[in-house]
């Protein structure tokens, strides 16, 4: 069923793709930065501090998205015993973690002029911090357990347990009365953000997605070469 | 004009530090990942060079090994 996803078959693509993805990322990111820093309007309430949204929101979205993919692949690897899924998950985790940290740090920077504090034990912020802890545990499990099978099992359990936190993060602003504002960009109902801000946000999200794909490809290729190195030892 | 771009009505320090932190994180993650990749590939080339006889024939028969070595050659150009 997943034969076409065999590492040996897709290495030809994954080894060539990074340079094209990097090229695309540089173009989209440059446009995004120009829009976000210079062309987009300031907010009538938050003034220029609203520009932090263009790095904070895409980072939060991508870190949540990556963790959800990792958990989904972990469930699949348990069911189908596919060896490539843990490899994909392991390669996705570093960029997901870094985006999580960016979301927390830029959120704190945004919080100071908006709320008057760098940090609050608010439901959204705290659940994002818990996500960072799950990312840390996931990455550490690959470092600690040298036995690959054990590492796959432990890291998958961490990812599956951690994904329970994802809907909590998403709906925390609706379930609890929090300091963090509710979502302005909605899929199922009308988005409450103006197009002049929505376009830069979309461009920055595209750029951040390209960056995470780039890191994923580089990490995935590294992991494949690592496996081949072990193979050479056995010859 | 320049003052407006940098100061942003007093919010410049927050905006620029948020963007700088993002850029620094991107740069660090990219270079760390690149270094790890180069280190593993260098190890692979060294190990491949130490193979002899039947082992080298078996290793060369695997398409992915050839592709890794091709990558080394093309990146030197």
The DSSP result for A47-115, as a single string, is BGGGGGHHHHHHHHHHHHHHHHHHHHHHHHHHHH--SHHHHHHHHHHHHHHHHHHHHHHHHHHHHHHHH
Q: In chain A, which stretches have pLDDT less than 50?
A: none
Evaluate if residue B17 carries a pLDDT over 80.
Answer: yes
- A104, exposed or middle or buried, with CB in 10 Å at 0-12, 13-18, 19+? buried
- What is the share, in percent, of chain B residues with pLDDT greater than 70? 92
Of A126, A108, A19, nearest to A55 by C-alpha is A108
Evaluate if residue B28 carries a pLDDT over 90.
Answer: yes
Evaluate if residue B22 carries a pLDDT over 50.
Answer: yes
Evaluate if residue B31 carries a pLDDT over 60.
Answer: yes
- Report pLDDT for B77: 40
Q: To the nearest whole angstrom, how far is the Cα of A27 from the nearest Cα of chain B?
A: 15
- Report pLDDT for A18: 95
In this complex, is the C-beta atom of B33 within 8 Å of any C-beta atom belonging to chain A?
A: yes
Of B26, B62, B1, nearest to A8 by C-alpha is B62
- Report pLDDT for B74: 64
B-chain CB neighbours of A231 within 8 Å are: 62
Q: What is the mean pLDDT of residues B24-34?
A: 98
- Report pLDDT for A1: 59
Q: How far apart are CA A145 and CA A132, in angstroms?
A: 20
- Report pLDDT for A4: 61
- Report pLDDT for A3: 61
Q: How far apart are CA A225 and CA B37, in angstroms?
A: 8
Of A225, A203, A223, A226, nearest to A215 by C-alpha is A223
């Amino acid at each position: 069923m997943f034969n076409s996803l065999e590492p040996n078959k897709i290495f030809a693509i994954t080894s060539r793709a990074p340079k094209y993805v990097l090229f695309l990322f540089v173009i989209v990111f440059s446009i995004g930065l120009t829009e976000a820093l210079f062309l987009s309007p300031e907010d009538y309430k938050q003034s220029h501090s609203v520009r932090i949204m263009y790095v904070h929101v895409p980072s939060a979205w991508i870190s949540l998205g990556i963790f959800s993919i990792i958990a989904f692949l972990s469930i699949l690897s348990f069911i189908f015993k596919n060896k490539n899924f843990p490899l994909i998950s392991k390669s996705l985790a570093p960029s997901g973690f870094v985006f999580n940290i960016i979301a927390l740090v830029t959120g704190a920077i945004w919080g100071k002029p908006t709320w008057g504090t760098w940090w609050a034990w608010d439901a959204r912020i705290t659940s994002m911090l818990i996500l960072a802890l799950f990312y840390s545990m996931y990455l550490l499990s690959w470092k600690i357990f040298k036995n690959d099978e054990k590492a796959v099992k432990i890291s998958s359990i961490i990812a599956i347990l951690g994904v329970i936190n994802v809907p909590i993060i998403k709906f925390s602003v609706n379930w609890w009365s929090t300091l963090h504002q509710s979502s302005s960009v909605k899929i199922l109902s009308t988005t409450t953000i103006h197009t002049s801000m929505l376009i830069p946000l979309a461009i920055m999200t595209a750029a951040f997605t390209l960056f995470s794909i780039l890191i994923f490809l580089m990490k995935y290729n590294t992991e494949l070469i690592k496996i081949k190195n072990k193979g050479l030892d056995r010859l | 004009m320049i003052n407006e771009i940098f100061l942003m009505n007093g919010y410049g320090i927050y905006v620029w530090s948020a963007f700088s932190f993002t850029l620094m994180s991107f740069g660090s993650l990219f270079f760390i990942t690149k270094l790890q990749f180069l280190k593993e590939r260098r190890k692979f080339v060294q190990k491949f060079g130490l193979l002899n006889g039947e082992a080298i024939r078996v290793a060369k028969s695997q398409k992915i090994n050839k592709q890794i070595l091709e990558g080394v050659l093309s990146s030197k150009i």
